[in-house]
Amino acid sequence: MKFLIETPTIGFVETSASDIDLIIEIENQFENNQFINPYTKERHLQVITNRDEMHLLIWNKIEKQIIGFIILGGLENLNLSLEFRRIIIQPKGKGFGKQSLRLIKNYCFQQLKFHRLWLDVFDDNQVAIKFYLSEKFTQEGQLRDVVKYGNSYRSLLIFSILEKEFYND
Ligand SMILES: CC(C)(COP(=O)(O)OP(=O)(O)OC[C@H]1O[C@@H](n2cnc3c(N)ncnc32)[C@H](O)[C@@H]1OP(=O)(O)O)[C@@H](O)C(=O)NCCC(=O)NCCS
């Protein structure tokens, strides 16, 4: 298999339309859907075809199986600011998330030569917040009550890492 980017254990390939049913199944599992806004099938398909967005499958190269996916946005952003829009890993807690995030940082800064990588995360997603902080992301701010969730609202935290912070690591 030809990977877009890889380490000895994981690799990214562009998601195909035939993978979307599996992606939706992963997204809708409780341990995942409480931390993201699941997309419709149409929206996922749009990401695959849209030039400004990228849909990537994460492969475990040793076990030869899919272990998650990533969505990026802003590939045509004139300010060279890339959005790390979504990551879901299964199985969790085995280091695959950290490896994937490091690959995305390399892709953003070394391959695309972008200036900024940013993301938002629900403020009650403690695992993901620790995950981003452990990879040198800085919290920029909070969007209070920005997402309507049933009868209540949830807040998002904005994190980013800049080119100079990546290279000074
Ligand atoms: C967040 C997520 C992508 C992390 O992937 P992962 O493969 O489980 O994470 P890793 O095993 O690589 O761990 C990376 C870091 O995350 C943090 N982390 C992982 N599991 C954790 C846990 N149970 N409790 C606290 N921190 C945890 C730690 O900082 C860890 O670094 P360390 O091992 O050096 O301490 C994964 O848990 C996930 O898919 N969550 C559901 C979807 C989600 O919240 N996505 C992010 C928002 S879009």
pLDDT digits (tens, 9 = 90+) for 34-83: 999 999 999 999 999 999 999 999 999 999 999 999 999 999 999 999 99
What is the reported pLDDT for 84? 98
Q: Which of 127, 129, 155, 156 should be mutated for ligand 1, with most atoms under 8 A from CB?
A: 127
Buried b (16+ CB within 10 A) or exposed e, 136-165: ebeeeeeeeeeeeeeeeebebbebbbbbeb
CA of 98 to the centre of ligand 1 (A): 7
Instruction: Quote the ligand 1 centre to 100 CA distance (angstroms).
Output: 11
Question: Is the per-residue pLDDT at 86 higher than 90?
Answer: yes
Q: β-pairing, 138-149 with 53-60?
A: unpaired
State yes or no: pLDDT of 1 exceeds 90. no
Ligand 1 binding pocket, CB closer than 6 Å: 32, 35-36, 86-89, 92-98, 121, 125, 127-128, 130-131, 134
Percent of the chain with pLDDT over 90: 99
- Residue entry with tokens 């070394």: 110
Mean pLDDT for 99-110 is 98
What are phi and psi for residue 33, nearest 5 degrees? Answer: -70, -15
Entry pTM: 0.97
Half-sphere exposure in the Cβ direction for 64 (13 Å, CA): 1
